[in-house]
Amino acid sequence: MNLTLLLDLDDTLLNTNLQSFIPAYFQALANELAPQITPTLMFRALIAGTQKMNESKDFTRTLREVFDEEFYPQIEVERGKLDSAIENFYDNIFPTLQNLTSPKEGAKEFVEWAFAQGFRIAIATDPLLTTKATHHRLRWAGFEPNQFEIVSTYENFHFSKTYPAYYAEVLGLMGWADNPILMVGNDLDRDIIPAKRLGLKTYLVDEEPASQSGLEADSAGSLSGLRLWLESIDLISLTPNFKSKESISAIMSATPAVLNGLLKNLDSELWSRKPSDNDWTLTELICHLRDTEREIHHMQLKLFNEKEEPFIPRPDTGVWASQRDYMHEDGISALEKFNIARRETFSFLDSTSDEAWMQKARHAIFGPTNFLEVAGFMAEHDRLHIQQAYSALKKL
pTM for the structure as a whole: 0.96
The pLDDT tens digits for 263-309 are 988 998 999 999 988 899 999 999 999 999 999 999 999 999 998 99
The pLDDT tens digits for 153-199 are 999 999 999 999 999 999 999 999 999 999 999 999 999 999 999 99
The residue count for the chain? 396
Instruction: Report the 10 Å Cβ neighbour count for 358.
Output: 12
Beta strand extents in the chain (DSSP E only): 4-7, 14-16, 101-103, 120-123, 150-151, 181-185, 201-205, 219-221, 311-312, 360-363, 367-370
The pLDDT tens digits for 36-71 are 899 999 999 999 999 999 999 999 999 999 999 999
CA distance 34 to 13: 33
